[in-house]
Amino acid sequence: MTGELGNKIDSLWEIFWNGGITNPLDVVEQMTYLMFIKDLDDTDNLRAKEAAMLGLPYKSIFADEVEIGDRKVDGNQLKWSTFHDFPA
């Protein structure tokens, strides 16, 4: 694969490799998860905007607290638009 897309994929692969993820299946799993959570955030944002335009109530799927192990996390911290800026 060549060109811009190939360069982006190579860059991602290098990031995962330097982060200690060297198994290709693990890399694909992590990339798939990240793409899913980004799409989920985009869809949630779109539905919120549509509801606001129509004057309808809307409750985000990220609105509630989420229990992770023994701690609770604000659901908004799980949105792609929020956590993609967090440090590794």
The DSSP-derived string for 10-79 is HHHHHHHHHTT---HHHHHHHHHHHHHHHHHHHHHHHHHHHHHHHT-----TTSSEEEETTEEEEGGGGS
Going residue by residue through the chain, which has 88 residues, state the pLDDT in tens, using 9 for 90 and above.
Answer: 678 888 888 888 898 899 899 898 998 898 899 889 999 999 999 999 999 999 999 999 999 999 989 999 999 888 998 888 888 6
Name the CA dihedral angle for 11, 8, 84, 64, rounded to a multiple of 10 degrees: -130
pLDDT of res. 1: 64
pLDDT of res. 58: 96
Distance between CA atoms of 80 and 75, rounded to whole angstroms? 11
pLDDT of res. 37: 92
